[in-house]
Amino acid sequence: MGSCNSIPQPAEDTILAALFSFKNYVSRKLKYKRELKRNIDSLKAELKRLIEVKNDLLRRVDNEEKQPQRERLSQVQGWLTRVADTLTEVDELITDSSEEVERLCLGGFCYKNYKYASFSFGKRVAKKLEVVKSLKEEGGEFRVVADRRPDDPVDDQIPSEPTVGLESTFDEVWRCYEEDQVKIIGLYGRGGVGKTALLNQIYNKIRETSADIILIRISATNKNLENIQDEIGENLRLYDESWKNKSSLEKAKDILRILKTKKFVLLLDDIWEWVDLTEAGVPLSDSNAVSKVFFTTRLLMNVCGRMKPHMIPVECLGHENALKLFLSTVGDWALGSHPEIPSLAETMAKECGGLPLGLIKVAEAMTHKKTPQEWDYAINEFQRMGHEYSGMQEVYRVLRSSYDHLPKDPIIQSCFLYCSLFSKNHIISKRDLIDCWIGRRFLDDKHVAQNKGYHIIGILLHAGLLEEEDDDRVKINGITRDLALWLIKNDKGKENVFVNTGAGLTEAPEAGEWGGLTGVSMMENQVEILPERPSAHCLEDLFLNDNNLKVINGGFFTFMSCLTILRLSNNRSLTELPPEISILVSLQHLDLSRTGIKELREELRALSKLRCLILEDTPALQTISQPLISNFLMLRVLRMLECGALSQNGESLVGEVICLQRLNSLDISLNGSSALQRLLTSHRLLSCLESVCLQNLTQTRFIRVLLADLKNLKRLHILDCENLEELQIICEDGLENTEGFCGFRNLCEVKIRACSKLKDLTWLILATSLRRIVISDCPEMEELISVGRLVDFPERVRGRIPFKKLEFLALRGLQNLKSINENALPFLKLKEIEVIGCPQLKTLPLDSESSKEGGIVIKGEQQWWDGLRWEDPTISSTFDPFFKPWW
């Protein structure tokens, strides 16, 4: 046992710890006293630096807050408040410091009077020094000092006029916005149709939600990737001095870092080329994200890559909505000025073609006109010279950007401007348009000229400068036609055209008014009389088609040696051409289709530069001087379908055509077996064949042709061939060559009449683009597509679904027809079926998909319809409403 005077070990440790703590306490007190003067000096120095940091930061804040909708960050304001408080406290300490320092003696290690000595002041100085240092460091770390001021959704609305007639389009856009799986939504349509107005409405509605929204108006100055990144960076408060020096990749990383944490909506207005948004830093690959991108464009193009936007067309207004917009813009003051003005306003509104921008601008120009006479005059001027109408100048400036953004190829622009010679909303055959371009030498001499023509039409369609009527035809609406005339007037100083189409003219301009004109179009009028000797030395294009011409006097062509295009089609009363047509030595395109011309005399040999000769539907043309056709060695296009001369001298005329080595497009009617045999001797001519009518082949039982030779065939008519048993379509390498069976891709129309020995048309399965079939008076025909004959075709062809693009099917007088096709077919494009005099046909190969894209009109006898058998009774009830009895 230990001595009673000894201290237990735990108590001893406690006493030692207490002594150590007291020692530290005294040491700290002595330290604060000992370092007081040095700390005060340091505090003064750090205070000066803190004030410098504060001043620099305030200058940055002031600069930011001078910008609209910018305010300092809360953390910046908090720092400035803390600095202000600290400065006050430090000033007080420094003021009191001189008295405290005087109390120190012996260099600060001893005090004169201990009771005044206190280490508390020294401690306060040391602590405040640390605070000042901390604030200084914190102030230097602010990279961003201001942010966009939170907006009131109502105050941040974009001004937007009501989009009359586009309510259903807006509803469709909003449905897409609310569907999570739709990420990118595109609005496409021509300029002035209302895409931007729709986008503004979308912006305003989204502003009412919690989504962050970014709207970028694309222009010539910000259409590239980095410019768009800068606008996004500005919206995300990333744009500062350091941002300007960053690479595109660094900017993309910053944008991605912020956007991937947000629900955002990006709106891009009026894009012409797709921007790779992923490369810009916009996150689109996350399938779980609900963020959206909207864009508007005038070009229906592949802008999406792998992202597949949902494209929504914005189209011109229908008559009712167009009139509503027009009248609301004109206003009650003008409309109520006279009882006739509302009906005149309706006439004027029609001239605008449903284009909202045109309707608004023309209506604004009419708001001050309150007499019928003023309205009559304005309507007449707009119809006659719409491209010079004052109210449309702003519209054309908007629309011309579609023209300016065409590929930088003057040929494409020239092809569009050439469309100005056609009437407003005139339905133009694509082939006829391409023929004109070839005649005008916009397209080269190679065989690909036709394909290039279709390529250019596609570009103009995608740019909204042409409208597609169907697969074969286009039109140019009134405002776009006037745009082309406006461009010619303003951009093509050397060109001067006179266009007055569909205006009811009965006389052409007087002879003295033709001077300096390079183009004249008076199509679709009632012109009967032409001037005697118009001074038309510069004239290159003359459109006189669709008039009432009976005679062209000999002197009319006297001063037209530069004329390149002459269109006289659809003048049924025009029966002859004057000998003076030989003056037109520059002529390259002559269209005499659907005229009453009876003879082509030898004077036409002078037209040796002809590239296109159109003689379609000229049954009165019985005589063509020989040799004449073979003299046109430059001919590329020859159209002689239903030309009467071929029924008289078909074999010899085919012989002349064979001599045309540059020919690449041929339409022809062949009357008799000898003319057909002559044609079949030329593989080159067969490859040029686009339309052919075979008639009265009394000595022909089989027609055997290579599929490769008919690759360009579009229309095939076989009429009154009573002994014809089969049309044999074969491949050059035999039936084993399945690739060859894809070569019938262009055939779109087949007409068979009075071929009494034909039993089937199984070869139609090779024609994948068929849109129209008419078969009549073939009493031996039992099947359209014969299952038994299909075994002669390769397996790949036998499995093909026929008639995918068929729109019209007519079967008439086929007494023994039992089947169209063994199995039911979808017929997704079918619009009309006509079945007359086919009592044995008890089934129709229609399935439930055949009515998905719209109702099908089915015409036939009621008794035949009632006797049809259906595998599925529900299909019968589906088509009952579409049946129209044929009485």
- String of DSSP letters for 523-555: -SS---B--SS---TT--EEE--SS------GG
pLDDT at position 693, please?
Answer: 93
Q: What is the pLDDT of residues 620-630, one digit of tens each?
A: 999 999 889 99
Kindly indicate the confidence band of residue 153, based on its pLDDT and cuts at 50, 70 and 90: very low
Q: How far apart are CA 674 and CA 666, in angstroms?
A: 19
Q: What is the pLDDT of residues 210-257, one digit of tens each?
A: 667 888 887 655 567 888 888 888 888 787 778 888 888 988 898 888
Domain count, the chain: 4
Q: Are residues 267 and 137 in the same domain?
A: no
Q: Hey, what amino acid is at 161?
A: E
What's the CATH code of the domain at 184? 3.40.50.300
pLDDT at position 447, please?
Answer: 60
Q: Return the exposure string of 74-113: e unless at least 16 CB atoms fall within 10 Å of the residue's CB, then b.
A: eebeebbeebeebbeebeebeeebeebeebbeeebeeeee
Q: Are residues 85 and 141 in the same domain?
A: yes
- Residue 159: inside a domain: no
Say if strands 702-706 and 212-217 run parallel, antiparallel, or are unpaired: unpaired
What's the CATH code of the domain at 466? 1.10.10.10
Q: Are residues 32 and 142 in the same domain?
A: yes
Report pTM: 0.75
- Residue 490: inside a domain: yes
pLDDT at position 89, please?
Answer: 84
- Residue 321: inside a domain: no
Kindly indicate the confidence band of residue 863, based on its pLDDT and cuts at 50, 70 and 90: very high
Q: What is the pLDDT of residues 542-557, one digit of tens each?
A: 999 999 999 999 899 9
Identify the three-state secondary structure at position 62.
helix
Q: Are residues 178 and 235 in the same domain?
A: yes
Residue 719's DSSP bridge partners are 695, 753
Kindly indicate the confidence band of residue 300, based on its pLDDT and cuts at 50, 70 and 90: low
Chain position carrying tokens 């008890």: 842
- Residue 809: inside a domain: no
Judged by average pLDDT, the poorest of 303-312, 400-409, 666-675 is 303-312
Kindly indicate the confidence band of residue 683, based on its pLDDT and cuts at 50, 70 and 90: confident
Pairwise pLDDT comparison (415 vs 823), residue with the higher score: 415
Q: Are residues 417 and 470 in the same domain?
A: yes
Question: Is 151's pLDDT higher than 70?
Answer: no
Q: Are residues 182 and 309 in the same domain?
A: yes
Q: What is the mean pLDDT of the chain?
A: 83
pLDDT at position 492, please?
Answer: 64
- Residue 347: inside a domain: yes
Q: Are residues 469 and 446 in the same domain?
A: yes
Token readout for 597 is 């011309």
Q: Are residues 87 and 190 in the same domain?
A: no
Q: Are residues 283 and 373 in the same domain?
A: no
Q: Are residues 43 and 96 in the same domain?
A: yes
pLDDT at position 262, please?
Answer: 76
Q: Hey, what amino acid is at 246?
A: K
- Residue 701: inside a domain: no
Q: Are residues 191 and 280 in the same domain?
A: yes
Say if strands 519-521 and 497-499 run parallel, antiparallel, or are unpaired: parallel
Residue 483 belongs to domain spanning = 406-495
Question: Is 109's pLDDT higher than 50?
Answer: no
Q: Are residues 430 and 470 in the same domain?
A: yes
Q: What is the pLDDT of residues 571-598, one digit of tens each?
A: 999 999 999 999 999 999 999 999 999 9
Given 461, 495, 529, the domain boundary residue is: 495
pLDDT at position 7, please?
Answer: 47
Given 269, 285, 313, the domain boundary residue is: 313
Instruction: Report which DSSP code applies to 404.
Output: H
pLDDT at position 833, please?
Answer: 94
- Residue 591: inside a domain: no
Given 475, 495, 515, the domain boundary residue is: 495
Give me the phi and psi of 727, to 5 degrees please: -105, 110
Kindly indicate the confidence band of residue 611, based on its pLDDT and cuts at 50, 70 and 90: very high
Nearest to 176 by CA among 44, 312, 67: 312
Nearest to 68 by CA among 155, 152, 149: 149
Exposed/middle/buried for residue 473 (C-beta within 10 Å: 0-12, 13-18, 19+): middle
- Residue 442: inside a domain: yes
